[in-house]
Structure 1
């Protein structure tokens, strides 16, 4: 009788999910990160399922829509970037902190196509993504304000300027990314030089308004 009960016992449950479901979800998330990073938000669910070794039906049992899956993957990447940026807000060198955050954000764009598309505004309709992108803008503003208040950058630079530069630096180097994957670092250095307060001349156009999703 005890052997029969063992055979009929339910599968182990972890965090509300069966152990096999947990494993399927882990495989799915890992595959989705890889496929979305290389193919962007237009990647098909079929390709993600194939990379994970799962059926499409399994994908939709975990995520009702493709947008839900993308929001989870990109949202996690953004959360990691935000956590690191939050630590930099209190750094002793505001200029170095802003530089480090900009480098991290641009490197993510260079290595993760889905992230790049989201921060560029081409794919951020999901509520979770919109909320995290808004937090990203707030963080950039905080880092910029601190650098500005310490005289590390010119006093007419705003967080919106910096947010746009993050995309601009990446896009400048993008055409040669296949053969020069680190080229963006050259243009980031040029942009940082342009932010310096020394011998700054008035800018010919006012700062843009903060962008909210």
Structure 2
């Protein structure tokens, strides 16, 4: 378990360097990325890694927490937006842009090792549901779209473009636009299957 004491400025800087380096290593090497390689990439010693993160699992959980916290911050702000449809699209844009920068979706199950990750992820799911409820109430999206649908669609634009060799970095925006048009009520047809209850 990591310490909860306030960190000095240099410790905060080292922690951020470690999180960025670890995210890059995991994105490139998957779960086989070593602590030694992460430390080398961050320009610190292995001891520094373990002073911040007692285990590799703690480091993984911290990366996942950073990503979810960013989405929770955006979601909380967008719940106050005047246009619920635009707010939902902007949330999906933030999520897709985050994944385009560094795809760490394979860390999903690893992140479940932390109760804190589970807590903030639940908060994010609730925020997404509220964004969807507002958008439905204002007829910005079709009535049969659920929060679970949106959570599953968050990774879709980048998943699609991962199959395109040398894809332009903003190609995901094309597929996000197609997805969001499919969420609109105009011309919608009944969906062939009920949504999953959980993800």
TM-score by length of 1: 0.81
CA RMSD, 1 decimal: 2.1
State the match for 1:10 in structure 2: none
On the 8 A contact 2:25/2:37 being kept in 1, the answer is no
Q: Does the 8 A contact of 2:18 with 2:49 survive in 1?
A: no
> What residue ranges of structure 1 are gaps of 5+ in the alignment?
1-14
The runs of 5 or more residues in structure 2 that have no matched partner are: none
1:111 pairs, out of 101, 115, 131, with 101
- How far apart are 1:96 and its partner, in Å? 0.4
How far off is 1:39 after superposition? 3.2
Task: Give how far 1:59 is off.
Answer: 1.4
The aligned residue for residue 70 of structure 2 is: 80
Contact in 1 for aligned 2:61/2:110 (Cα 8 Å): no
Instruction: Give the alignment's TM-score, normalised by structure 2.
Output: 0.86
Q: Is the 8 A contact 1:38 1:112 kept in 2?
A: no
Number of the residue aligned with 2:135: 147
**1:172 alignment partner in structure 2:** 160
| Alignment counterpart, residue 64 of structure 1, candidates 48, 54, 69 | 54
Distance 1:88 1:65, change over 3 A: same
Larger radius of gyration: 1
Q: CA, structure 1 residues 177+32, in 2 after alignment: closer, same or farther (shift >3 Å)?
A: farther
Question: Alpha-carbon deviations, 1:128-178, whole Å to 9, x = none?
Answer: 222222211111111011000111110000000111111222211122274
CA distance in 2, matches of 1:177, 1:23: 40
Cα gap change, 1:82/1:37 in structure 2, threshold over 3 Å: closer, same or farther?
A: farther
